[in-house]
Chain A
Amino acid sequence: DTAVSQTPKYLVTQMGNDKSIKCEQNLGHDTMYWYKQDSKKFLKIMFSYNNKELIINETVPNRFSPKSPDKAHLNLHINSLELGDSAVYFCASSPGGGQPQHFGDGTRLSIL
């Protein structure tokens, strides 16, 4: 029974397209996150939501827009995809600040 699930696992698309990645957690956690892991394996936080409210919004192009319809879901929509967006995107959740995070399997986004 997967705790944090992301769809799709792989996403191959062309430059300029718009795409979404979905994330759902069944752990009852209040806080959810989006991370970007680049080709050098650097892991950088993009957004954090606590109970549907945005609490962390790092320096990310405004082409990236998170949406949290409820506290169990945090989706990531990306407009006008660029080559530099190619990466693995991880969703995570935690009970609250300072607590360990539970990660999804990641979505590997490849821009052609």
Chain B
Amino acid sequence: AQRVTQPEKLLSVFKGAPVELKCNYSYSGSPELFWYVQYSRQRLQLLLRHISRESIKGFTADLNKGETSFHLKKPFAQEEDSAMYYCALSFTSGTYKYIFGTGTRLKVLA
């Protein structure tokens, strides 16, 4: 069955330290992968998607098909990065489906 796993519920790092939020997926076809961010009491918003290969707010994510991973990275964390981060998988199974991971709360400490 298709699945998205975010193994860390909470990740705390100090300001200026590197950040890596892990995401592993289970899907045998060609996945569409996304990272969404939810700041405190705000709506979820798209952070980045794998096909665009962009860097948004200093974050990057590379799709590794061999390891079925799509980890989110930032070299130097900032306090304003504190938020919930969700990895999501989109795939077709008759129709398009969307699965979100359970989310990782990132806390950047001063």
Question: A55 near B: Cβ within 8 Å?
Answer: yes
Q: Among A44, A48, A101, which residue has its beta carbon within 8 angstroms of that of B46?
A: A101
A104 at the B interface (CB under 8 A):
yes
- Min CB distance B86 to A, Å, is 6
For chain A, which range describes its interface: under 10, 10 to 19, 20 to 34, or 35 or more residues? 20 to 34
Q: Given the complex, which residues of A lie within 8 Å of B91, measured CB to CB? A: 98
- Taking CB atoms, residues of chain B closer than 8 Å to A92 are 44
Q: Which residue of A lies closest to B95 (CB)?
A: A55
Tell me the A20-55 residues at the B interface (CB within 8 Å). Answer: 31, 33, 35, 40-45, 48, 50, 55
CA distance A92 to B98 in the complex (A): 12
Question: Are B95's CB and A100's CB within 8 A?
Answer: no
Name the one of A31, A48, A103 contacting B43, with C-beta atoms under 8 angstroms: A103
User: B70-101 interface mask toward A, CB cutoff 8 Å, 1 = contact, 0 = none?
Assistant: 00000000000000101000111001111110
Given contacts A97-B90, A100-B49, contact A42 B42 (CB under 8 A): no
B45 at interface by CB-CB < 8 Å: yes
User: Are A103 and B45 in contact, with the CB atoms below 8 A?
Assistant: yes
Query: Is A98 touching B86 in the complex (CB atoms < 8 A)?
Result: no
Which residues of B line the A interface, CB within 8 A?
Answer: 32, 34, 36, 42-46, 49, 84, 86, 90-92, 95-100, 102-103, 105
Please list the residues of chain A having a beta carbon within 8 angstroms of any beta carbon in chain B.
4, 31, 33, 35, 40-45, 48, 50, 55-56, 90, 92, 96-106
